[in-house]
Amino acid sequence: MGRIIIKNDTELKDFEALDVVRQVIMQGRVSGNEQESYCYVTKFSDGIVVYADKLKCSDKFRVSRWSD
């Protein structure tokens, strides 16, 4: 089983960042060749953005706030 790495660059508490990452994971792997990665960028209505990256043995997620 791989690892899940979460980098929280927001004011969200860790459990809140974990929840938005959980929502991305629940959508399944939808990006990349043969759907090998989670959605590369997911923007939530409250301005939270989750960036996903597939590494060799793990999935890395960065939680940040959208800025125009």
Q: pLDDT tens digit string along 7-38?
A: 999 999 999 999 999 999 999 999 988 889 99
pTM above 0.85, yes or no: yes
Distances (CA, A) of 46 to 5, 49, 64, 67: 23, 9, 11, 12
In the structure encoding, which two tokens stand for residue 52, read together? 């996903």
pLDDT score, position 1: 53
pLDDT score, position 49: 98
Question: Can you tell me the distance from the alpha carbon of 29 to that of 10, in angstroms, rounded to the nearest whole number?
Answer: 24
Question: Can you tell me the distance from the alpha carbon of 68 to that of 58, in angstroms, rounded to the nearest whole number?
Answer: 30
